[in-house]
């Protein structure tokens, strides 16, 4: 899916280089930096989250919900945290995603999510 050293493209068409891929219970935590050198990158890619058009700000406790384009050209859904948020480990992101699943079920009653084995290749 995505590996260290891969270059991906965010919603603003900015290229980023992946420096860390950490598997979690529900998805992958990616860390990296933008090649233009302006800032670092951190996002959680839940396995069952579809990519969205544009960006949804303040989505279910996340700073944003949007899409990331992988080197293969595939688009995947991703969520980001607020920089002031203390989330910084995969288990923190997994716990936040578990709360998101509950919130989505309560709001829409349609999301069916469960832990998934994720391969890093």
Q: At a CB cut-off of 8 Å and minimum separation 6, what does 36 contact?
A: 14, 15
User: Quick one: how many helices (H) and strands (E) in the chain?
Assistant: 1, 7
Query: What are the φ/ψ torsions at residue 50 (nearest 5 degrees)?
Result: -75, 150
Closest alpha carbon to 70 in 116, 21, 112, 103:
21
Q: Helix H segments across the chain? A: 90-108
Beta-bridge partner residues of 43: 30
More confident position, 107 or 4: 4
Determine if the pTM surpasses 0.85.
no
Percentage of residues of the chain with pLDDT beyond 70: 84
Over residues 61-99, the pLDDT tens digits come to: 899 999 999 999 999 999 998 765 666 789 999 999 999
Distance of CA 104 to the CA centre of its chain: 16
Domain boundaries, the chain: 7-108
């Amino acid at each position: 899916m995505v590996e260290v050293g891969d270059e991906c493209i965010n919603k603003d068409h900015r290229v980023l280089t992946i420096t860390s891929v950490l598997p979690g219970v529900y998805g992958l935590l990616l860390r990296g930096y933008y090649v233009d050198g302006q800032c670092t990158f951190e996002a959680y890619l839940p396995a069952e989250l579809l990519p969205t058009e544009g960006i949804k700000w303040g989505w279910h406790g996340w700073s944003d919900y949007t899409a990331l384009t992988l080197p293969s050209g595939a688009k995947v859904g991703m969520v980001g945290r607020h920089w002031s948020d203390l989330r910084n480990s995969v288990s923190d992101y997994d716990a936040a995603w578990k709360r998101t699943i509950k919130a989505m079920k309560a709001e829409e009653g349609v999301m069916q999510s469960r832990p998934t084995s994720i391969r890093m290749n």
